[in-house]
Each structure stands twice: as structure tokens, then as C-alpha cells.
Amino acid sequence: MTGADLCHFSNRAPDEENDQIGSTSSTPPGAVTPRPDLTVDKRLPGIIHNCIGQVRALNTPPQTPRSRSQEDTSHSGASTPSRTVVKDIKDIKTEGTTIGPVLGKLTIGISEGRGLRPSVDPYVVCEFQLSQYISEGPISPKESTNKLQNGGSGISIQAAAGKGRPMAIPMRSRQSSNSGRDPNAPQETTNPRWDHQAVFDVVGQHAEVDISVYDRTNQEAFLGHVRFCPSLKEYTAPYDGWFDLEPRDAGESESVHGQIHLKISFQKTDKKHYGPDDFEVLKLIGKGTFGQVFQVRKRDTQRIYAMKILSKKVIIQKKEIAHTIGERNILVRTAMTDSPFIVGLKFSFQTPSDLYLVTDYMSGGELFWHLQKEGRFQEARAKFYISELILALEHLHRHDIVYRDLKPENILLDANGHIALCDFGLSKANLVGSETTNTFCGTTEYLAPEVLLDEHGYTKMVDYWSLGVLVFEMCCGWSPFYADDTQQMYRNIAFGKVRFPRDALSTEGRNFVKGLLNRNPKHRMGANGGAKELRNHAFFADVDWEALAKKRVVPPFKPKLKGELDVSNFDPEFTNARAAALASGINASTPLSPTVQAKFEGFTFVDESAIEKQFADRSDDFSRTTSREEKDDDDWERVEKSDRMSGVYQSQDDIFNGRFED
């Protein structure tokens, strides 16, 4: 068997053929943004006069605290600063995979490297279909000897007669001897031995494997990477061989050299359905109104995922069934297409009491967490994130999905520093072309003015307004419309001026923000050409969009990670909690009636036969339900316009004109 039988290997080795942002909000954490005050005259001409002439104080505005979404919020009463949230759900082709039922397991053994750039603690990030494995550092010579003697889990390397492939050599024989060195001091190596193994759930026919090598002790220095497309066929023996490390761009060519040895195999699976028992709860990483988000380990593959667990009873009480099913459907729709910048849904299933969404675990954490620590980003770093977000939004809009909740809390970083958009709890599907929707939802600081003012509804253009707010916040450190009072924030969005700090953005960057923050959605950037209009802006003159779409642009920042279980990039408020104790009470709620259970039919992603049978066998004792449980859940879409009008009123066209101060 040749390597070509199993994989297409383009780079096979030749012999192988500071301070935190924010102040505490006046709104309690987890609270829903109040509807605009209806006790005042809705027209309020005096407010229009006052707001048009209003100028923000010369002092720097308070930096914006954390936003809250009802499905992904902090524990009520926590000390973490809070934003308030309103709750109601083709030119550049990105590179990804088609997602479906689990086909099998792809096993990649990462045994050793040779000829690498000298490093003290080299480790590996292995990515397949958006799932990532993060290794520990190289094993010591003693550990290597024990593994070889005990037949441990390491990958053995066979000699290839006539091909010049060396045998595995213990690390101590590779280290340069120097009697003057401290024997306990960290030693550099060019030939690390790892003996690590990553097992991935295969949910599509075609996808790349990307293996990157970094040095933990040298500011996450990049040592090289390997890319190949595995052939998903079963063979009697794994393929093993050496692979050349390659640079990510031309600027790294001189510093990248060496090879790594891999052992690759694929095994089919007949398992069609999954449940909570297939996962081990590790850490709490988020908590919301409807449930919690946990870091979990899949028992058979040991793969690390994020699992959102939603209480059916709470969903029913808050009349959010259609909304929750909508989130799942959007995740399935995006998972079955090919965007690398949208978090991937791997499994969804349910029990009589809860719903489960299992997605890829993004170990880099929330972008908000990094923005909170650093205050603001340099323009180049912000531009990188915004560029990848444009491709993510373009993908959603192309599939008739409006996102409606773009904010740093909903943007995750992976182990390499790329972004992934998550949490589709406020998104809406099937919004074709310039069609409008009228649901009042979103996070207050990011609401577009037409959501507040336009009685005819709004289009997908609201996402580009939110993107403009996000660019400003990343580069300036605060939201351009933030105020302690929600009603004042509505006024700022509708009429307030936007003032740019002198050193925050280039001229091109300011013009880009101004184009997105045009209060008239018909004149907003993107109204005529969609995402292509954004990509063609001078702000992105130095962006290679084709390379970016294939994740071939080097991220300006890489999260520091100790291993694949690392949760240091998530809020300690959650990660310090005892996840196992919290998870133990999840299934303890009172069973729901078959009629109510039927409302969740179709939630399971892989196979519903088991849960459907369980519901069918339920006793008729639960057949009587309350009128609240029986009520159709579609009324969350029917929000009267008067319910969301504040002391803002559209009385003349010129209120949509941009108001900026440089």
C-alpha cells in the first residue's frame, strides 16, 4: 500500500514519496433589555431637537461591559459587568466540509519530529473539520523508554529498508552534551518525541487535516505545519510516514524546516444515535437563562467538545420552543455547508427533560475575554478579525440567514487564532434577498436604528450596522452608543454623534466605520453589493481574500494554551464552578407530557428513533397539559411596533444622515 492509496500528501517528505474593560451596568446581570418607555408621548418632538444637537462629553466614555444573551449569560447577581440584551431567532468561497452523520473515526498518531528549529517545549495543534487536538510537550527520554518497554500508547516507527528512514532514537542521544549546563534547566531540542494520538469524529466525506507545531516557551513561536486530505477508506494497516513542515507564508520560509512523523488510519462506525452517556462533563464554561455550556469529552474518541444543555421546561415557560428549534436548524444548515468561520455542530439530541447541542470546542475562548484584558486591539489585529467575520456573515446571508447578535461575546477563537461565530439564538432563517422581518431583538449597543424606528421592519443590513459598532469597539475600547440608561442608548443609536479618538483608526478605517454606521439602511455599505462591497473597501486593500477564506493568512495573535483541556481563556466565574455537580442535576426535572415533547420533534441531528420510541411508550398520565404548554410558540415573531418605540420618532428623512466627529 502506498501513501497515495490513503491520502493526498502534497508535502510528504522526499524520502517517502491588562486592565479589564467596563463598569458595572445599572441593569442586573442576565436581565432583558426593557422595552422602550411607553409612558411618554411616542412622538416626543422635543427629544428629537435635544438629541440632534447633543454632543458626547469630552471625557472618554465608559468602556462597554459584557453583553448578555438569555441563552448564554452569566449567573444572575454575578460581579461580572453586564450589557443589557433584547431577546426575541458568492464571490469568495470559504474552505470547509460537508457535514452529516458520523461516518467513522480518523486516528492520527503524532510520534516525533526531526530537524526542527531549536525549541524547548514544542507542541502540536491538529485540526480536522474544525475540531482541534492540542498536544502536551515532548516526552522526556525516561518517559519514552518506559513507553517503548511497556508497549504504551505511543506510535512506533518502523524502519523502511532502502528508503533511508531512521529508527526512532531516544531523545537523550539527540541532545548536545554540555557539562557546564544546569541539568535541570530546560533543554532545546530539534528532534522532539511526542507519541501522541488524536482521534476525530468524521462527519463528512472531504476535509483537510492541518497540523501546526509551536513552541510554548517562545511566545508560541510557529515552527511549521503540514496539510493533507485523508482518504476515508479502511485499510488493514495504518499509513505512516514523514512529512515536510511548511511555512504559512513567504515570510516564514527561512525559519521553517524539518519533518514530523505521522501514523494515519480510518475506521468506520455503525453507531447512529448519541446521548448524554456518550460524553463526560469536564468544566462549566458558560451559563444562561435556559441552561449551561460545558466542556465535555466524547468517551469513545476522547475528543473535546462544547455541549450546550437547555432545559425544556424553561424553554416552554418562556415560550421559546420555535426559537430554540430555529437555532438548531440554523446550526445544522451552516454545518452542512462549508464556512470555516462558523462554529460546527457535531451532534444534537434530547432527553425527556433537556435539549443538547454539541459543537466544536474553541479553546481560544471569547473575543470579548481578550478585548476585556487588553482594552482595545491594534488596527491590524482588528482588521483580521473583521475580515474573517465578513466572510462568516457573507456565508450566512448567502444562505438567507440574518445573524442579529454580532458582538465580541459571540466570537470565539480557535487554538491557532482564527475566529468562529457562535450562538445563533437570535438568528432568523429564510430571509430572502431584501425581505424584512419585524422582530425586536439583539444586544442594545449593537441594535441598528431601523430596528427601533422603521415600522416596515428591517433586512439583513442590520448585521453590517453591528459590524460597524464592533470595529469601533475593537479599535477604540468602548461602544460608540453606550449609555448607562437604556432609553438614552436608544436615543444615541437613533440620533447621537460618533466621535473617533485621534489615534484609534486610520482614515480608511474611519471611512469604513462611517459607511457601516449609515442610519439609512438603503445607503449603508453593503446595501448594493453585499459583502463584496465591504471587501472592496480601501480599508482591506492589503487583504488576500482567497487566502483568508482558506485560513492561509497568519493570525496576528495566537492564544496561549497548556493543552486541549485548557479553559484559561474563558471566564473564571464559570470555569471555577464544579461542573460535575451542576451537571448531575440536569435530568432531575419533572417529565413533560407527550404533547409537549412532540413540539421538540426534529431536534436530534443524527437519529431520533430512540427518543421517539421513548416518547411513544410514555403513559397517558401526562396527556393533560396546561394551556400555556399547548399554546403555539410562533407569537414571539408577532411584536407590535408600538411595543418597541421609545422616545425616538422618525419625523424627517435627515435623521438618518450620519453624524460623526473626527
CATH classification at residue 603: 3.30.200.20
pLDDT at 123: 96
Say if residue 144 is in the same domain as residue 199. yes
Q: How far apart are CA 234 and CA 246, in angstroms?
A: 28
Say if residue 430 is in the same domain as residue 322. no
Three-state secondary structure call for residue 222 = strand
Q: Is residue 161 part of a domain?
A: no
Q: Is residue 478 part of a domain?
A: yes
Considering 216, 241, 268, which residue would you say is the last residue of a domain?
268
pLDDT at 619: 35
The percent of residues in the chain predicted with pLDDT above 90, rounded, is: 44
Q: Is the pLDDT of residue 343 over 70?
A: yes
Average pLDDT, stretch 466-482?
95
Q: How many CA atoms lie within 13 A of 166 on its CB side?
A: 12
pLDDT at 649: 41
Helices within 215-366 (DSSP H only): 312-317, 321-335
- Is-contact 475 539, C-beta < 8 A? no
Cell of 64: 462597554
Q: Is the pLDDT of residue 81 over 50?
A: no
Give strand ranges (E) for 326-443.
345-350, 354-360, 365-366, 411-413, 419-421, 442-443
Say if residue 507 is in the same domain as residue 578. no
Q: Is residue 587 part of a domain?
A: yes
Considering 214, 233, 268, which residue would you say is the last residue of a domain?
268
Beta-carbon contacts of residue 202 (< 8 Å; ≥ 6 apart): 102, 103, 104, 105, 106, 128, 129, 232, 266
For the chain, give the mean pLDDT.
74
Say if residue 400 is in the same domain as residue 449. yes
Spell out a b/e string for 550-570, using b for 16 or more CB atoms within 10 Å of the CB, else e. bbebbbebbbebeebebbebb
Say if residue 519 is in the same domain as residue 383. yes
Range of the domain at 349: 276-362+570-637
Q: 542 catalytic, yes or no?
A: no
Say if residue 263 is in the same domain as residue 283. no
**Catalytic, out of 215, 405, 463, 566:** 405
The percent of residues in the chain predicted with pLDDT above 70, rounded, is: 65
CATH number at residue 502: 1.10.510.10
Annotated binding-site residue? 308? yes
Q: Is residue 343 part of a domain?
A: yes
Q: Tell me the pLDDT band of 327, cut-offs 50, 70 and 90.
A: confident
pLDDT at 299: 94
Average pLDDT, stretch 517-531?
95
Say if residue 230 is in the same domain as residue 299. no
Average pLDDT, stretch 173-193?
63
In this structure, of 303-312, 339-348, 526-535, the range with the lowest mean pLDDT score is 339-348
Domains: count for the chain: 3
Say if residue 381 is in the same domain as residue 483. yes
Say if residue 372 is in the same domain as residue 501. yes
Q: Is residue 177 part of a domain?
A: no
Name the helix (H) or strand (E) containing 597: helix 594-598
Say if residue 128 is in the same domain as residue 88. no
Residue by residue, what is the 3-state secondary structure of 3-19?
Answer: HHHHEECCCECHHHCCC
Q: Is residue 28 part of a domain?
A: no
Q: Is residue 401 part of a domain?
A: yes
Is 612 or 240 the better-scoring residue by pLDDT?
240
Q: Is residue 616 part of a domain?
A: yes
Considering 238, 268, 298, which residue would you say is the last residue of a domain?
268
Q: How many CA atoms lie within 13 A of 526 on its CB side?
A: 31
pLDDT at 537: 97
Give pLDDT tens digits for 113-170: 999 999 999 999 999 998 999 999 998 755 544 444 444 333 332 333 333 343 333 3
Say if residue 311 is in the same domain as residue 399. no
Say if residue 258 is in the same domain as residue 325. no
Give strand ranges (E) for 120-166.
122-128, 131-134
- Is-contact 648 494, C-beta < 8 A? yes
